[in-house]
Amino acid sequence: MVRVGTAFAPSNIALCKYWGKRDTNLNLPVNSSLSISLGNKGAVTKVSVNNIDQVILNNNLISEQNNFYKKIVSFLNLLRDQNVLTNKKMFFKIDTYSNLPIAAGLASSASGFAALVKALDQLFNWDLSLKQLSILARLGSGSASRSLWNGFVKWHAGIKEDGTDSFAEPIDLVWPELCVGLLVVDNQEKYISSREAMQISVKTSPLYYAWQQLATKDLNTLETSIKIKNFSLFGATAEANALAMHAIMLSSRPAIIYSNSNTISNIKKIWKLRHHDNINLYFTQDAGPNLKLLFLYKDFAIVKEAFPELELIRPFAVEVEKR
């Protein structure tokens, strides 16, 4: 056993969202989802054996009351309970550094958990396949199952109760011109976790019944649009899928609204650029007020002029990490 396991995993943005669990303990989703990884934006996680569980996030030791701490420790408890670790009384020091705003709907927990399972794999010399690591990462955070790869990734919902068929895998297609622009309108921690919000949606939204079918259709359309490189179809489908997820939240009781007034004014600005100025610009939004803009590199100058604070990510311009 090496003394420290260290690994990086990219963050990922869902284009067809995962919203709702069929099993809350194993993080088994109702629907399959599709994402794009954010290249070198993500988390580096170091793990070593310790006398207590300790979590350090961006160089700060975090308290046991912190949600991120609770999420990590309940994941470690799951591993301890399932005898995945050599010793049930084994504790860890987990040191995570993320170069994205934590808990601002920019999927930093996805990269954090994916990097953690890769680091544990190294620490214990498990030599698990990426598919097995995806299953393990899913137990920490559903979307983490998609953060083991770069590029487009599909998470199969699966149907088995034990979750062994619920894992992600990469889609072997590249789109070098594709850009994701991060538009951080607020980097405060979200007021309600995605875990809690999606369960409220499943239990109370009168629109939830339509979600599984809609997500299946959107996922198929997205895959086709990537194959044939039809960016308008790709952007329109991703945007509509995000809006449908937020519509479900709005119809939940209590209603959940992650958007703030800046989110809405930026959405209107995107629509104006698209409808009046013919810029092929779309967005997606997760469990937070921030927006991720979708466009092709040829339009970058115009998009940057309209959104000077935008952070450009070119998912296919980085070397795809090979294990």
Site for ligand PMV, rule CB under 6 A: 14, 17-18, 33, 107, 109, 141-143, 194-195, 286-287
* 230 token code pair: 């039809």
Please report, for residues 5, 149, 218, 239, 309, the alpha-carbon distance to residue 280 in angstroms, rounded to integers and kept in the order given.
43, 27, 19, 12, 19
Question: In one letter, which amino acid is 222?
Answer: L
What letter represents residue 280's amino acid? N
In the complex, minimum distance from the CB of residue 199 to ligand PMV, in angstroms, rounded to a whole number: 10
The residue among 80 and 195 lying less far from ligand PMV, judged by its C-beta, is 195
**Is there a contact between 96 and 43 (Cβ–Cβ < 8 Å)?**
yes
Q: Considering beta carbons, is residue 121 or 286 the nearer one to ligand PMV?
A: 286
Q: Which is nearer to ligand PMV, 32 or 54 (CB)?
A: 32
Compute the least distance from the CB of residue 248 to ligand PMV, in Å: 11
Residue type, 175: W
> Considering the complex, what minimum distance in angstroms separates the CB of residue 1 from ligand PMV?
29
Contact at 8 Å (CB) between 24 and 199?
A: yes
Task: Provide, rounded to whole angstroms, the least separation between the CB of residue 306 and ligand PMV.
Answer: 25
CB of 317 within 8 A of CB of 296?
no
Minimum CB–partner distance for residue 282 and ligand PMV (Å) = 17
* Nearest approach, Cβ of residue 302 and ligand PMV (Å): 28
Min. distance of Cβ 76 from ligand PMV in angstroms? Answer: 17
Nearer to ligand PMV, 17 or 46 (CB): 17
Q: Determine the Cα–Cα distance for residues 155 and 264; give it in Å rounded to an integer.
A: 29
Helix axes 67-81, 108-124, angle to 10 degrees: 40
Task: For residue 313, give the H/E element and its range.
Answer: strand 311-313
Comparing CB distances to ligand PMV, the nearer of 192 and 306 is 192
Which residue number, 273 or 291, has a Cβ lying nearer to ligand PMV?
Answer: 291
Looking at the Cβ atoms of 122 and 166, the one nearer to ligand PMV is: 166
Q: How many residues does the chain have?
A: 323
Tell me the residue type at 12.
N
Cα gap 137→66, rounded to integer Å: 20
**297-302 contacts, C-beta under 8 A, 24 or more apart:** 297/176, 297/177, 297/178, 297/179, 298/177, 300/179, 302/273, 302/277
